[in-house]
């Protein structure tokens, strides 16, 4: 025995329904417009926690023996292809973002570098330029931020390589930084 899905309506009930609903205007088309899907949720607390960890990961007390003191900055993680470093040195990667550290003290610059690299990584940016200056205005008679940046970048596991920029992009007063994908 099958149930009847739409039992016939009593004419009085049908009339009462039509009176209650009133005049109905049919839809002109049979397509339903949908709103675009909302963007994926951003875990803000997770981002804040990661930013704090990245900032705390940059220590001023890191002094590896191989830290060079010359004019030009250059560093590549072991296993990175020489051709990738060559492309970086030639400025052949598209610079997706830039940070200028001029006029900042080392502690402030450290915070800015940590946030900048974290934001660039989350945005999917592969190559950035950080302008650290040449230290000519420093009371320490040397490029303080350049030395600090060299130290900080080596500590970041998301930094694959970095080197001094081409002369037209800042030369030894700026660095290209290649980030993990």
CATH code where residue 103 lies: 3.30.1370.110
Q: Evaluate whether residue 22 is within a structural domain.
A: no
The pLDDT, as a whole number, for residue 16 is 86
Q: Is residue 5 part of a domain?
A: no
Model confidence, pTM: 0.62
Give the model's pLDDT for residue 116. 95
- Note whether residue 10 is domain-resident: no
Query: Can you give the pLDDT at residue 32?
Result: 67
Q: Which domain holds residue 81?
A: 45-179
Mean pLDDT, each 10-residue run in order, the chain (181 residues): 68 83 77 74 73 63 49 90 93 94 91 94 94 75 84 92 93 93 84
Which DSSP letter does residue 158 get?
T
The structural domain count of the chain equals 1
CB 109 within 8 A of CB 50: no
For residue 121, being part of any structural domain is answered with yes
Does residue 21 sit within a domain?
no
Q: Which residues contact 155 (CB under 8 A, 6 or more apart)?
A: 57, 58, 59, 62
In a domain, 15, yes or no: no
Alpha helices in the chain, H assignment, sequence order:
11-21, 44-57, 82-89, 106-122, 144-155
The pLDDT score that the predictor gives to residue 4 is 63
């Amino acid at each position: 025995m099958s149930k009847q899905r739409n039992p016939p309506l009593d004419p009085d009930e049908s009339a009462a329904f039509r009176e209650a609903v009133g005049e109905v205007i049919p839809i002109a088309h049979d397509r339903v417009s949908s709103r675009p899907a909302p963007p994926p949720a951003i875990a803000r607390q997770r981002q804040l926690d990661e930013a704090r960890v990245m900032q705390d990961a940059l220590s001023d007390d890191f002094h590896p023996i191989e830290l060079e003191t010359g004019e030009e900055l250059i560093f590549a993680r072991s296993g990175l292809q020489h051709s990738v470093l060559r492309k970086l040195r030639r400025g052949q990667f598209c610079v997706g973002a830039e940070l200028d550290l001029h006029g900042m003290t080392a502690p402030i610059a450290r915070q800015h570098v940590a946030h900048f690299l974290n934001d660039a990584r989350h945005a999917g940016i592969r190559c950035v330029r950080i302008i650290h200056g040449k230290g000519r205005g420093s009371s320490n008679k040397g490029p303080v931020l350049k030395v600090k940046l060299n130290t900080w970048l080596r500590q970041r596991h998301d930094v694959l390589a970095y080197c001094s920029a081409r002369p037209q992009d800042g030369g030894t007063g700026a660095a290209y930084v290649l980030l993990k994908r």
